[in-house]
Structure 1
């Protein structure tokens, strides 16, 4: 079974330096990255148009890339009938700009045939995402997920951000179609030091 890692680098050079070590130790085949530090020089590194989201295939034999594409805030690859999407929706934009990027993500998921999974730092709050309350971004993400038939894979209430003032904050979300959801076993937030506050 393939190993997957969702990582938020928070644009950290230290997190970037530790990334290779972590993927080797954890035997990771595919990484979905938000707030990358910089692109890696690899034919199996795919980045969005803004340099904020990336997918890194570490095992191209097990996960051969059949197709790929990118937009502002999201990048996708297709392998063995599954479309994987990495996205980053910044909290520093207006709700209109947020919606434009969310629409692009939804269009990407709509066009993708078959099974799909998406992950990233969505910077949204919703009870269904493990947060105590909902914000407009969270409502919009949940509505999009419902339209695209995606399930929230996050389990538990472990925070995905470790910084003062963000206790219990879960901004990094994993979504999967009903066909992919049963294949995502042992979803958890790693407690390892990764050089990022996510």
Structure 2
């Protein structure tokens, strides 16, 4: 979820998560002061944050936490949780490099929850038009056997060429 740096948005998200007994929140563009306290894990840039709430559904235990530019990774008992924010202001080379950095840091790419704002457009996540970042991200995900999951549409699988399966 993108909070657009709004303190009110994050407060509402936290309240809804508690009311709905959600175990984990991943937010892009959080309010930077808000995530300085209160149990938030954040990346180096403060552009993505994760909070583990453990509301009795799943007991998530964080063993290790890695913060980088563009993403953070939490190694947990249920797998690796990666939150990403790839700014639209970076050129394509830096975009690819950050995706590759995520892959290098998490070579196994098994039992992964990868969420965030990739500033990419593709039909796989219901954009009307695909852009270059969308093509790059789809290929990157396909090479790693990752799938796109959208709330209302269920999981969508991609083949090795980044096409819907």
Specify if TM > 0.5.
Answer: yes
Which residue pairs with 1:151 in the alignment? Answer: 147
Question: Could you tell me how far apart the structure 1 residues matched to 2:78 and 2:122 are?
Answer: 30
Which residue pairs with 1:49 in the alignment? Answer: 44
Matched, 1:34 2:11: no
- The TM-score with structure 2 as length reference comes to 0.81
The size of the alignment, in residue pairs, is 152
Query: Pairwise mapping of residues 2-21 of structure 1 onto structure 2 (< 5 A)?
Result: 7-21=1-15
Q: CA deviation at 1:40?
A: 4.0
Question: Could you tell me how far apart the structure 2 residues matched to 1:11 and 1:111 are?
Answer: 32
Q: CA deviation at 1:175?
A: 9.4
Query: Pairwise mapping of residues 28-177 of structure 1 onto structure 2 (< 5 A)?
Result: 28-38=22-32, 39-42=35-38, 44-59=39-54, 62-111=59-108, 114-156=110-152
- The TM-score with structure 1 as length reference comes to 0.69
Describe the superposition over 1:100-128 as per-residue Cα deviations: whole angstroms up to 9, x where unpaired: 2222222233255x311100011101122
The one of the two structures with greater contact order (alpha-carbon pairs below 8 A, sep at least 6) is 1
| Structure 2 CA distance for partners of 1:27 and 1:60, relative to 1, 3 Å | closer
Confirm or deny: 8 A CA contact 1:9 1:36 kept in the other structure.
yes
Q: Can you give the 5+ residue segments of structure 1 that lack an aligned partner in the other structure?
A: 1-6, 158-173, 177-198
Root mean square deviation of aligned Cα: 2.4
> Which has the larger share of helix?
2
Question: Could you tell me how far apart the structure 2 residues matched to 1:175 and 1:82 are?
Answer: 21
Q: Can you give the 5+ residue segments of structure 2 that lack an aligned partner in the other structure?
A: 158-165
